[in-house]
Amino acid sequence: MNDAGPGVEPFYAVEINRLANERARRGLPVIHMEVGQPSAGAPRAAIEEGHRALRDEPQGYWESGALKERIAALYGERYQLARTPSQIILSAGASGALVLAISVQFRPGARIALARPGYPAHRNVLRAFGLTPVELDCGPQTRFQPTAAMIEALDPAPAGLILTSPSNPTGTMLDHGELAALARICRARGIQIISDETYHGITFGRHAHSMLEFEPEAVVLNSFSKYWCMTGWRLGWAAVPSRLVDVMNRYSANIFLAPPTLAQHVALAAMDGRAELEAHVATYARNRQLLMRELPGLGITRMAPVDGAFYLYADISHLGNNSLQWCRELLDATGVALNTGRDFDSINGGRFVRISFAVSTRETEQAIELLAGWLRQGKPK
């Protein structure tokens, strides 16, 4: 029997997280900066609504019309865009929305362009569905993001393009002009855009634009996991053009039946918890500033510009070219858990680490102190 999921690579963050949890079970301290999730939970009022829903509401298959209306309204509030509730397809996280988006739009063998470094599940889900990732080498010269010139140079044109802004792992964003240029070249070449906007709401100094401002035929993915601090609730959505509403609903019903019922009740209440959520974003901003200020003094000077999300992507090649081993040794010696860049870039990722700063400011300070002490000892060898 062939292995399931040909070409699907390991998720090293899961391995590091497992090692970190084993350390914690032995009673040793751990600072979790390896996984991409907020350390805070859903807003207090949302949790209270969850208790009420468990007590008073049946937990069967269900889709919340009120939640779809509220998400549609969010596009007007954030981007001055009109979306109807019917154009919002609820899903089991943004990951579920990605599965739906590629299932309905592409056939096996289709070529889909995406940035490298980039979120590993994008390329691995493409491979699992028999599609061919076309990785675009995006380095410091393009702020780790693809450009319209890169897409124009592809021959033949791919069937699709996946964008992520703010990006995981780099935190970089595409600006208004580059998004517009990407939309123009994709429209001219018949390339379908999927825009992963999971980290919208978490930005530092400038507003994140939605691809829907430039290409209304794009499929946009989003999730309650990051800004709304609901990672484990597994609820997201796709905002889709009218032509895809019927087929997306049919695929969703057959593949997933329904999104998590309890999570829908909680998410609707969470959308009104803005003050609490913005306080978390302010914490991320403080942590970002701490890392950007202190890491250069430790010799870590080459970092991607962090426009949004809660990651810092740093080049540590002066310390070695095996960042997975480096992360294991750091965890073992200090309890600071970081993730290797190999998850995000199979070619150059061994030179990079990703630091998630969605923790408390005190934990960020402690992590910097521990890393500084370890490096002063001449580690790693």
How does pLDDT run along the chain (381 residues), one tens digit per residue? 334 445 677 889 999 999 999 999 999 999 999 999 999 999 999 999 999 999 999 999 999 999 999 999 999 999 999 999 999 999 999 999 999 999 999 999 999 999 999 999 999 999 999 999 999 999 999 999 999 999 999 999 999 999 999 999 999 999 999 999 999 999 999 999 999 999 999 999 989 999 999 999 999 999 999 999 999 999 999 999 999 999 999 999 999 999 999 999 999 999 999 999 999 999 999 999 999 999 999 999 999 999 999 999 999 999 988 999 999 999 999 999 999 999 999 999 999 999 999 999 999 999 999 999 999 987 654
At 361 the pLDDT is 98
Between CA 291 and CA 296 the distance in angstroms is 9
pLDDT at residue 1 in the model = 31
Buried b (16+ CB within 10 A) or exposed e, 290-329: bbeebbeeeebeebbebbbbbbbbbbbeebeebbbebbbb
Q: Provide the pLDDT for residue 379.
A: 62
Distances (CA, A) of 239 to 88, 222, 344: 5, 8, 25
Torsions phi, psi of 356, nearest 5?
-90, 120
The full set of domains in the chain, from first to last, is 12-41+274-376 (3.40.640.10), 44-270 (3.40.640.10)
CA distance 276 to 282: 10
- Is this model's pTM higher than 0.85 or not? yes
Dihedral, CA of residue 32, residue 379, residue 292 and residue 305, to nearest 10: -90
Residue 366 CA to residue 372 CA, distance in Å, equals 10
Beta-carbon count within 10 A of 147 CB: 19
- How high is the pLDDT of residue 380? 56
